[in-house]
Amino acid sequence: MNGNRPGTRTLRVTVLVFPGVRLLDVTGPVEVFTSANEFGGRYRVQIVSEDGAAVITSAGTCIGADRAADEVREPSDVLIVPGGPEWETLIKDDVLMDAVRRLSGTAACTASVCSGAFLLAAAGLLDGRRATTHWRFTRRLGLRFPSVRVEPDAIFVRDGTMMTSAGVSSGIDLSLALVEEHYGAAVARAVAKDMVVFMQRPGGQSQFSVRSQIPHSRQELLRRVLDAVAEDPGANHSLAAMARRAGVSARHLTRLFHEETETTPARYVEQVRVEAAQVLLETGDDSMEVVARRTGFGSPESLRRAFVRHLGVTPGAFRTCFRTTGVRHKAPESAGVSG
């Protein structure tokens, strides 16, 4: 896309579906684009499958297709490639990969949702490009396709004509960004309000991945250090203290951290402390002072700086977003409960 407004021309959005596709990866973007038509947008959405037949999603529901992929004659303004739990099998489907390449070749913009990034990467469309996927799979994407420059914390990434987004609902974020590009911020904002979603959600993916990234080490002495930090984040974990615990010099321990975890001792300790604070903020009523003290930060200001640095949100904003849906604090009638 060149950023110019499309005027009165109807924009074509093609969504490629396949057996086992994740339902929200499809319906999220479709809902954004069709809702935009109510606020000044002009989109025509078509669902295509390999052979034009309906497909069964990973949720067990059926999605119909408008036509087969090889029947698409007109170029698309946006091609959406969703993901699915069985992406490792999907990327070995030569017919599906050919469909991805052909449809992308005539599309002005190709966008993946969640593990759909693996399909784009397997098709060779992300070589040398920046990309993201669900936080659980960012490391695997980088290992499987080393030519892809993975950005693990991004909600979505744009690199030229390719866009990739994070897990499941991030397809909505990506689609809203495209609506804003096509028709302006006012239209995108109206769609976001109508769907009751963030126009731009706070923070990145790392706020969802509590304790998922704690590294494993082949070195027994380093494993003892890592475990000690994880078991008691609030204890003294200075470099000197950890080196004494491991029985090695501070320099040697730093080298082990770099070789085994690809991070520094200080950064590892801070990450574990942030993750421990996330758990306390999600599950407890402790004040910020208590959370900071229990997790080794010492002060609310140090806690706040670490949260912003690692997660892109403040501790207060994190607690508000992730502690509860708010249903317990609503009166029955306002929560939609009767009698």
Q: Which residues contact 185 (CB under 8 A, 6 or more apart)?
A: none
Torsion of CA 105, 107, 108, 109, to 10 degrees: -100
**Which neighbouring-strand residues pair with 46?**
14
> In 3D, which of 73, 74, 79 has the Cα closest to residue 1?
79
Residue 336 Rama label (left phi>0; alpha psi -120 to 50; beta): left
How far lies 7's CA from each of 4, 30, 150, 183, in Å?
9, 21, 35, 9
| Alpha-carbon span 226 to 105, nearest angstrom | 47
Strands (E), the chain: 11-16, 43-49, 55-56, 62-63, 67-68, 78-81, 110-112, 130-131, 149-150, 156-159, 162-165
Is 114 in the active site? yes
**How would DSSP label each residue in 162-185?**
EEEE-STTHHHHHHHHHHHHHH-H
Q: Which of 62, 109, 114, 321 is catalytic?
A: 114
CA 62 to chain centre: 25
| Alpha-carbon span 197 to 111, nearest angstrom | 20
**How would DSSP label each residue in 53-112?**
--EE-TTS-EE--SEEGGG--SPPSEEEE---TTHHHHTT-HHHHHHHHHHHHT-S-EEE
Q: Are 52 and 68 in contact (CB under 8 A)?
A: yes
| Alpha-carbon span 29 to 2, nearest angstrom | 21
Backbone phi, then psi, for 62, in 5-degree steps?
Answer: -105, 135
Active site residues: 114
